[in-house]
Structure 1
């Protein structure tokens, strides 16, 4: 059934009179998403703020909505801080825009802030070329299951009974929506709003459940958003078994079963008998309510862990966060034990998952023991909480956040009920192969990154874009926020964070997830919204806000809070934006580990979540190019780096590139980071304009601005080779030959290096000896040197110091291994 919405039923958002154009005077600060749309709008307390009755005006003015955009009110919630949160879903020409929602946050009737994700859509046809039936066949071919739930008459009957609805069915019903195309490799189509058919496809063998989105014109699958969230590719979560516990049960017909009705709508635990049918599952029973005989060869005691665990998780959410079950409406929690996706194959099922309705647990096999303990329950029910709040799309960064929040709740619930257990290890007791499945205190130990795009960061397409790997960054952020930590991360940023305790950290995490995050949120958004959540709870100048900010800095997301090392926050820099990108835009930026290609980003792209390390005193090459709709016009390039981290680009030497070109080819320019550059994270700004007079601040006509983060390491103390700052202002197409002069200083390139590091000695002298030390000053294993080239392929990612001798003089220089 196609879902269309009457225009009369929507909050129509057309043009408003000039008298309503107050957005510039009302908003104190705007934080932009990567696509240049407002992610968070904060209002001045002293301003003539909007009221909730002015929602239409606020949304139009602050989001710059057009006549084809409509916002439909979805729900209103009031939290225990007295905030009213009014949430709206976006529609375009009456068609719902998936993952696009905006929320007004008000107190005492006055809107204090707005947050969410809005899509900029224009000229998109909402008339499908393919009907729902044809699109469903494309979706089923993509899933490729051998059997689906709606093909099982017993499961269909069970669903009708469960939903108390004779029309209920697992058969997918197509809904016409607009969604970003996240699967296309064509840069002109990737991540662009697409008219699509949406299907909820529940496969029985092999087990899977996901929203499948099919392009309503081409039939291409453009997005898969998993409903069943597995905790790992070969097995999910493991926790420490609870031992002897008391638990509510139900007395019936002279015996007892694992059901109870005192928590919400109840908690029920069933036995799948090593099958894959929910409707065939039966009760676990006991004659005297003393369940000691369940420790048997069949691992029936796993059911006791799951039942007690579900009750404990319910109690945590109720007692700590005032949340009534996962949906905050008392939803029943059903758990199914001894589930096996392929009965009779002689292997146990090494997984546990929330399928969108119930909890499902396997018995494990070669990797795991039965997966039914406390933080497994907390993790999986955490997915249910997420689906009822932020509903984070289960792919790429939003999927990593989805997994990370579930791990957070696993740790928080375990600490709440069993604080002497290994809070920061996930799966340490049931994993038969590894010490644990994941480590929140040391993600690298189990192959996860502890720094955004650092060591072990996954950038492929497997595991829904690495959701179980890249979640390590959020896990480590929560760990650092809770207990504190001092160190240097993978991108060379030194940090020191004072912990605020797991209870306060969990309150901030919950408010971030339940109030501010939206389906498409990424790590940059999580940082922005968690700072806002901490501000709501503890005040803008609180130690908690400082800790949240610095914990994100510690894991490589954004700047630190105040102090000498960190740069100004994102909002402290002046804005710069092109107002028209119909003809030209920035389509490539490459510097160190930053490498991004794109089409037009609406005049501004916030890439500050992307970071590369530059060594003070080292020569660098930056590459960039313009994209043109047709004619290649003469464009003026200006590139700035805030070397002294004072929040502007006006100081001497901070203009790295200043030149023009009419080429669409990749251009390159050389510059040297000043030896006096301040250590820490700072801002790189790249500006393309058709006007030579355009400066680093303000709006301008045709063109685009992109911002990125740079970590300066080394500083003046190690720049003992007389290196000076300054950039090469001429723009040379990459690959073109230029006259080369004999170097008068030690140079290393490429820097950062991947395999070979080229050493250019003063006067082209021959290298006689080299040594490499890590950031601690510890000498690392010797690398092979040949023809002034050093093989660094075996080094771990990080910052190193190279000491080089020509037999008479000794030179020192830092380099980064990526």
Structure 2
């Protein structure tokens, strides 16, 4: 259904001419921008200079420079324990909701103290869909590729209607028209751009998945997948920590029959037995006759029902007693848990996962890697995803997704520590999954992320590069890996630490204790972060949260700032800026330079003539400057021992400085040539290139399939440094096109793959002509059949092969010019 709003229902913040949209800088104390140049947080001066909360429309209009096409709808208003009022506004463009674009006005005693959030600057977007919702749903289902969906299961549909007490309730997705960034395209013209899209909540049963799928309302392309079920099994999740004999609140239905349900906490805590199946509606109650559940400690691990029930209660208690939050939605939502869940019943393999599916908790029994996954910190982690969904709603990909996972780890640690201290339990606060992991000491370590393959520094060791095409195959851009940075920040903030991080920054942080750190983390997530927030945004947000709680210049604010510096994000307290992160680049090297090598490279002030360098030359100490948006010409040539062979040239520039050359626009030259002369190519540096020093890679190989990161047979790689000036902080790829090669500045050369050996005619009946791309003479030729046996009836004479004596079939021809050997198939007809 189209979610458009009339001018009556919207808080209209446009309607003025551009001359009246000038910002009131006299009221601004500080401003932090997103990478795209829009404000992330604006803080205002106090007292007489402050805006009033009643002027919310004015402050947003002025500071965000809204146009008549931009509207902001007030979504909700909350008041926290510090008596701050937070009015949250949802952005609309021409009446269409802009996904992940929300802005909050923060006020105290009627004065606006700051505004923060994500605003998308959109212009000229066509908001009339070309594709119907039903057609778009077909595209979404094709993308998911499930064999069965929840709405196709009559029992699950009936169960949902009963659960929601709504006869019209259905799992079948209802299309909502929204505007969202295209985060799956590799095309620089569309990647990261605002796109009109149909949004669907697609719940697949086989194989199991649930995600918001966004389909371009014009092209039908899937532009974003935002997972609802967070599939912790990709890197696994938390511990089944058996917490001893606990007193669990439950209920009795009739005399002599007790079940794991209780209603003293919010709307209730309920725990069910999925009976090693994958249906929620087929699940049944765990019951006991005397309310002493000792017999549940059995070979079937039925005692894990007690762990799940206890974990849900402990998690609810922590949020209520520590943060005054009434369940995950702050409205007392029921917490339902299903244990003994198996995504593929009957296959004989237990389910090695636990997840929040957007509605309920789900726990598998484990198999090879894990014991049953009903730990206290598993409960805390998974309910943490629900809390995030109801607050910051961090999109589950790349940096925002890593923080989604990191905050859940924070709540796993905080709730485990709080509960263990209260009940006298022995737990390992900073190890995640230590009790269920059969193979490793723990799944993750917040005190030493590197020990479990996670980064403890932003873009440091083990950092996984973000991606324009996040899927489960690449862990949605490293969400379970890069969460180590937020985990380690929280650990350092809590207990303190001194050392030197991966980018060479020496730090010393005095810890403030886990209780204070948790209060700051919760305020950061619930008040200041938005769906598309980055680590840089989290730093700004947490400093504001600490200032709200403990005052400007407090020890807590200093610790928060220095803890971010310790993990490589931003400056230390006092203004020390960490050195720029130096990415680690993959190896690229030719095995042999016996026949060819790079003998000349020139770009700007880089100009190097050389002999063979053993397959690789590290010239990164040599650099030149390139202006963003400028046209550049690069020159290069090949050196040959004797005959000139066809060589395949690739030139890469890592424009976004993320350590890889695979992003859109970073292959700046691609082509082939058999020339010994100087080749040239012209390319344009994209305006979105990130300012600063980055890597230039030149590859010459005799194999057309050679990429930016591999070892190859013949040829050479040379690396240099280029300094981008006048660029941006944008991290998406540039828009430069692949340049064609020219020889001597005039003759265009081929960008197509040129075969090293050409055979004609092929198929052949009597005679086969052989030509080498290098123009070298063929000195020998042999023929073998598909079994590898040499064919004696083929004769090579004067550069031609007589095949008249061969039987019909397919053969392999091996030829040599005296230096290299080449292979090619032909058909005898």
Cα 1:295/1:38, change in 2 over 3 Å: same
Tell me how far apart the structure 2 counterparts of residues 29 and 387 of structure 1 sit (CA, whole Å).
29
Tell me how far apart the structure 1 counterparts of residues 240 and 506 of structure 2 sit (CA, whole Å).
33
2:484 aligned partner: 472
1:537 aligned partner: 549
1:686/1:706 contact within 8 Å kept: no
Tell me how far apart the structure 2 counterparts of residues 249 and 339 of structure 1 sit (CA, whole Å).
21
Deviation at 1:27, TM superposition (A): 0.8
1:211 aligned partner: 212
Is 2:561 the counterpart of 1:549?
yes
1:455 aligned partner: 461
Cα 1:350/1:707, change in 2 over 3 Å: closer
What are the within-5 Å matches in structure 2 for residues 770-809 of structure 1? none
1:143 aligned partner: 144
Deviation at 1:15, TM superposition (A): 4.2
2:230 aligned partner: 229
Deviation at 1:251, TM superposition (A): 1.1
Is 2:433 the counterpart of 1:427?
yes
1:361 aligned partner: 363
Cα 1:622/1:236, change in 2 over 3 Å: farther
Cα 1:591/1:260, change in 2 over 3 Å: closer
1:84/1:107 contact within 8 Å kept: yes
Match among 397, 402, 405 for residue 403 of structure 1: 405
Tell me how far apart the structure 2 counterparts of residues 510 and 98 of structure 1 sit (CA, whole Å).
23
1:24 aligned partner: 25
1:500 aligned partner: 512
1:13 aligned partner: 13
Structure 1 residues 56-77: Cα deviation after superposition (integer angstroms, max 9, x where no partner):
1111100111110000000000
SS in 2 for 1:232: helix
Deviation at 1:620, TM superposition (A): 5.8
Is 2:3 the counterpart of 1:3?
yes
Tell me how far apart the structure 2 counterparts of residues 68 and 665 of structure 1 sit (CA, whole Å).
33
Deviation at 1:567, TM superposition (A): 7.1
Tell me how far apart the structure 1 counterparts of residues 302 and 532 of structure 2 sit (CA, whole Å).
40
1:763 aligned partner: none
Is 2:200 the counterpart of 1:199?
yes
Tell me how far apart the structure 2 counterparts of residues 707 and 275 of structure 1 sit (CA, whole Å).
46
Cα 1:439/1:200, change in 2 over 3 Å: same
Is 2:451 the counterpart of 1:439?
no
What are the within-5 Å matches in structure 2 for residues 616-765 of structure 1? 619=621, 621=623, 623-627=625-629, 665=684, 688=726
2:459/2:583 contact within 8 Å kept: no
Unmatched tracts of structure 1, length 5 or more: 569-589, 596-617, 631-662, 672-683, 689-703, 709-732, 737-818
SS in 1 for 2:247: coil
Structure 1 residues 423-475: Cα deviation after superposition (integer angstroms, max 9, x where no partner):
00000011011111000001111111111111111115411111101100000
2:73 aligned partner: 72
| Aligned-pair Cα RMSD in Å | 2.9
Tell me how far apart the structure 2 counterparts of residues 204 and 168 of structure 1 sit (CA, whole Å).
17
2:333 aligned partner: 331
1:247 aligned partner: 248
Tell me how far apart the structure 2 counterparts of residues 300 and 9 of structure 1 sit (CA, whole Å).
53
Match among 385, 388, 395 for residue 387 of structure 2: 385
Tell me how far apart the structure 2 counterparts of residues 466 and 225 of structure 1 sit (CA, whole Å).
14
SS in 2 for 1:627: coil
Cα 1:33/1:622, change in 2 over 3 Å: farther
Deviation at 1:4, TM superposition (A): 2.0
Structure 1 residues 257-310: Cα deviation after superposition (integer angstroms, max 9, x where no partner):
000000000000000000011011110011111111111011000110000000
Cα 1:293/1:442, change in 2 over 3 Å: same
Deviation at 1:686, TM superposition (A): 6.5
1:20/1:57 contact within 8 Å kept: no
Cα 1:559/1:79, change in 2 over 3 Å: same
Deviation at 1:29, TM superposition (A): 0.6
Tell me how far apart the structure 1 counterparts of residues 692 and 161 of structure 2 sit (CA, whole Å).
68
2:132 aligned partner: 131
1:234/1:351 contact within 8 Å kept: no
Deviation at 1:230, TM superposition (A): 2.1
Tell me how far apart the structure 2 counterparts of residues 421 and 592 of structure 1 sit (CA, whole Å).
37
Tell me how far apart the structure 2 counterparts of residues 520 and 670 of structure 1 sit (CA, whole Å).
24
SS in 1 for 2:363: strand
Deviation at 1:566, TM superposition (A): 4.4
Structure 1 residues 462-511: Cα deviation after superposition (integer angstroms, max 9, x where no partner):
11111101100000000000001111111111111110000000000000
Tell me how far apart the structure 1 counterparts of residues 67 and 115 of structure 2 sit (CA, whole Å).
18
Cα 1:290/1:79, change in 2 over 3 Å: same
Cα 1:185/1:707, change in 2 over 3 Å: closer
2:35/2:729 contact within 8 Å kept: no
Tell me how far apart the structure 1 counterparts of residues 11 and 63 of structure 2 sit (CA, whole Å).
15
Cα 1:622/1:325, change in 2 over 3 Å: farther
Match among 504, 526, 531 for residue 538 of structure 2: 526
Tell me how far apart the structure 2 counterparts of residues 31 and 424 of structure 1 sit (CA, whole Å).
32
1:591/1:621 contact within 8 Å kept: no
Tell me how far apart the structure 2 counterparts of residues 226 and 367 of structure 1 sit (CA, whole Å).
24
1:487 aligned partner: 499
2:317 aligned partner: 315
Structure exhibiting the larger radius of gyration computed from Cα positions: 2
Deviation at 1:407, TM superposition (A): 0.2
SS in 2 for 1:505: helix
Unmatched tracts of structure 2, length 5 or more: 586-619, 633-681, 694-721, 732-738, 743-829
Structure 1 residues 188-245: Cα deviation after superposition (integer angstroms, max 9, x where no partner):
2111100000000000111100000001111110000000112231632224221111
2:279 aligned partner: 277
SS in 1 for 2:525: helix
Deviation at 1:3, TM superposition (A): 2.1
2:455/2:484 contact within 8 Å kept: yes
TM-score (norm 1): 0.72
Cα 1:47/1:664, change in 2 over 3 Å: farther
2:778 aligned partner: none
1:340 aligned partner: 342
Tell me how far apart the structure 2 counterparts of residues 333 and 509 of structure 1 sit (CA, whole Å).
23
Aligned length: 612
SS in 2 for 1:29: strand
SS in 1 for 2:511: coil
Deviation at 1:514, TM superposition (A): 0.3
